[in-house]
Amino acid sequence: MNYQELSDTSRVWIYQSSRPFKDEELPRLRAELRDFVQNWASHNMDLKAFGDIFHNRFIVLMVDESQAGASGCSIDASVRFIKYLEQTFDTNLFDRMTFAWRDGNTIKTAPKEQFARLYAEGKINDHTLVFDNLVKTKAEFDGEWIKPLALSWHKRMV
């Protein structure tokens, strides 16, 4: 399924990997994601869901709740699945204090303290494009996931 087929109000979860996924890992990772979203259910109702990897670094899950909403149990199942991927692919997917930004065509990451230091040194600035992994809906994902630092919550951290 193409995520564009989901409603703009679909819920989004973004998991940033502590490292880029290798090209040779992507087929297996995509197959794992496809299997998970095809079988993801809430109270025995299949969820209209999507999962994929963006920029070889971000795992994105989406659920169109117009058909069936994600319940606590189904969200717990997704967290267990992401933890499984974390172990399988030897990466950290739950570190919310490592920030990602674009530097040309490259995606760079740094812990919060280093990110603030880079800002103070002028190596990144208010125009640097950052990834806001806290977006909640598909509409926000489409329009606000990647945005200038000055317009993101990251600005409060520098």
The yes-or-no verdict on residue 8 having pLDDT over 90 is: yes
Q: What pLDDT is recorded for position 3?
A: 82
pLDDT band per the 50, 70, 90 thresholds, residue 48: confident
What mean pLDDT comes out for the span 127-153?
Answer: 97
Q: What is the pLDDT of residue 89?
A: 97
DSSP state of 4: G
Predicted pLDDT of residue 70: 60
Is a pLDDT exceeding 90 seen at residue 72? no
Residue showing tokens 């409060």:
156
The pLDDT score that the predictor gives to residue 97 is 93
Q: Which two tokens stand for residue 28?
A: 């297996």
Separation between Cα atoms, residue 128 and residue 113, nearest integer Å: 17
| pLDDT confidence tier of residue 40, bands split at 50, 70 and 90 | confident
93 close to 16: Cβ distance less than 8 angstroms: yes
Q: Given pLDDT bands bounded at 50, 70 and 90, which one contains residue 78?
A: confident
The model's confidence at residue 152, banded by pLDDT at 50, 70 and 90, is: very high
Cβ within 8 Å of residue 84, ≥6 positions away: none
Closest CA to 56 of 81, 87, 11, 91: 91
Mean pLDDT value across the chain: 91
Q: pTM of the predicted model, to two decimals?
A: 0.91
What SS3 class is residue 48? Answer: strand
102-114 residue pLDDT tens: 999 999 999 999 9
Say which residue, 74 or 158, is predicted with more confidence: 158
Nearest to 51 by CA among 21, 20, 84, 15: 15
- Residue 139 contacts by C-beta under 8 Å, 6 or more apart in sequence? 8, 9
Which ranges of the chain does DSSP label H, i.e. alpha helix? Answer: 26-39, 72-88, 112-120, 138-144
Residue 119 pLDDT exceeds 60: yes
Assess whether pLDDT exceeds 70 at residue 57: yes
